[in-house]
Amino acid sequence: MADKKSPGLWIETGVDGKFCVVMSGAYGPEKHLPLITPAEDLVAAAEMDYTAYRREIQRLYEEHPLFAERLDVPESDLEDLTAEALLLPSTLREIDPLSFFVLGSLLDQALRMQDDGSPIFLLRAGQRLLQVLELPIRTQIRLRNIMEMTFDGTERATQQERFAKLHNAYSEIAAFCDPAHLDGYGDTPLQLCVGSVFQLRLIELLLYFRQEKQRIARCDYCWNYFIPRTQAATRYCDRIFDGQSCKKRGANLKRKKGPEQDDALKLFKQLRDRMYARMLRYQDAPENQRDRLIPMTVIQYDVWEKNARQARRDYMAGKIEAREFLRRIDTTHELTSYDTLKQELPPEESIWQKRVAADLDFDPERQYPSSLMLLDLSKPSDDPQWQYLTAEELIRKDQEGHQSLKDQYSK
């Protein structure tokens, strides 16, 4: 029998790019989680639903008598808060066993906080307990921001290009996740002890950048992350909303979308949608019915899309005119004219993206007020009007030009 590991979280790499997380406590047997790839675990971690858990923590902050404004705080209030706080981690046992395991030792340390005799000790001790309980939420916020900066719009990029995006946004995180750290290990199995769930996520990113078999992409329709099944360009995941897949809903909405861009780029998007739909029809059709369709294999689409993206980059950089851009992407001669007028383009980055890049801990639920009154002075008027905006509307405003199709067309 192998020696028992020291208490903590351990990562053990295995075959086929998979790894296992081992939870080793001071007492009792070690618990091994199922083998999984880094990409799969990162996507799953970003999707964990902490809504109910977060609501309970917020309720304690807002309603528990320990935090009420008064001169004297009885010790019984801290005891009551502690009793409620210690029950919360059990709600994570199924959805997030790692955080459930880690919170056990962290809460034990928080409960040993020494009374320094200050009049606000009880208040500080209560705040410390709730701050520990918030660690899983803060870890997910950081992971989501990292993924936003790394995997948004990089479905067809290389791993090196994705890593470069991460480095541009969060250089210190990228330095920790640099796969070059493991260059000397080859395929040698690794055993790594990590100090927190967040550090474990960073090790997963390191292992992710070390491989090429899987890539993380963002679904154009639902805006969630997924792992494409093939190497072909894949813009939609297989999630189901109201009985329809993102793939079907997204393709329908794309055809209706009228982007506020110049005519050449609108034609580019329309042509790309047509090619993609043609490839899907050809791929899904039985062999004996393909002769009725315009041939478009995955390889053919991939070649077209790669050349079209390069032409778009040249056009955006001003290296070629609109006519040349359209001529290069219209390889099947489907456009009747290459005459078009270039208009002013929207900004490359939304306010939302800039805010995420500027703050690894950017949390929409805390950064945006529940509601806000604004005086609209954007247009000349003798009678400017006040606008009432909810948090959702403020977020949409900051994400303008960079949203999921689901959000853009939601009623």
| Average pLDDT for 330-346 | 68
**Nearest Cα to 8, choosing from 203, 205, 139, 197?**
197
Asked if the model's pLDDT at residue 259 lies above 50, the reply is no
User: ∠ at Cα 402 (361, 138), nearest 5°?
Assistant: 15
- Dihedral of alpha carbons 104, 105, 108, 110, sign: negative
Q: What's residue 116's pLDDT?
A: 85
pLDDT higher than 50, residue 229: yes
Q: What percent of the chain has pLDDT over 70?
A: 92
Alpha carbon 283 to its chain's center? 29
Q: What is the band of 3 on the pLDDT scale with cuts at 50, 70, 90?
A: low
Q: Is pLDDT of 42 > 80? A: yes
Give the distance, in angstroms, between the CA of residue 391 and the centroid of all CA atoms in the same chain. 20
Q: What is the pLDDT of residues 360-395, one digit of tens each?
A: 999 999 999 888 887 766 666 667 778 888 988 889
pLDDT at 343: 42
Least confident of 24-33, 220-229, 354-363: 24-33
Residue 55, pLDDT > 50, answer yes
Query: DSSP for 12-46?
Result: EE-STT-EEEEEE-SSS--EEPPPB-HHHHHHHHH
pLDDT at 66: 94
The confidence band for 143, taking pLDDT boundaries of 50, 70 and 90, is: very high
The predicted-structure confidence for 195-228, as pLDDT tens digits, reads as follows 999 999 999 999 999 999 999 999 999 999 999 9
In angstroms, rounded to a whole number, what is the distance separating the alpha carbons of residues 399 and 406?
A: 13
**pTM for this prediction:** 0.78
Q: Which residue has the tokens 């009725």?
A: 292
Confidence grade of residue 399 (pLDDT, cut at 50, 70, 90): confident
Residue 346 has pLDDT above 50, yes or no: no
Q: Which of 72-81, 285-294, 401-410 has the highest mean pLDDT?
A: 72-81
The pLDDT of residue 379: 60
Two structure tokens written together for 221: 């329709």
Name the helix (H) or strand (E) containing 247: helix 246-256
Per-residue pLDDT of 145-170, as tens digits, reads 999 999 998 888 899 999 999 999 99
* pLDDT higher than threshold 80 for residue 340: no
Alpha-carbon distance 180 to 193, whole Å?
Answer: 19
Question: Percentage of the chain surpassing pLDDT 90?
Answer: 54
What confidence tens digit (pLDDT) does each residue in 87-113 have? 999 999 999 999 999 999 999 999 998
| 67-71, 132-136, 340-344: which is most confident | 132-136
Structure-model confidence comparison of residues 70 and 203, the more confident one: 203
DSSP H or E segment with residue 299: helix 298-316
Average pLDDT over residues 268-280: 86
What pLDDT is attached to residue 171? 96
Residue 345 confidence (pLDDT): 39
Spell out the domain ranges in the chain: 1-218, 261-329, 351-409
Residue 318 per-residue DSSP state: T
**Does residue 178 or residue 316 have the better pLDDT?**
178
Strands in 195-313 per DSSP E: 217-218, 225-226, 240-241, 244-245
Q: Which pLDDT belongs to residue 323?
A: 86
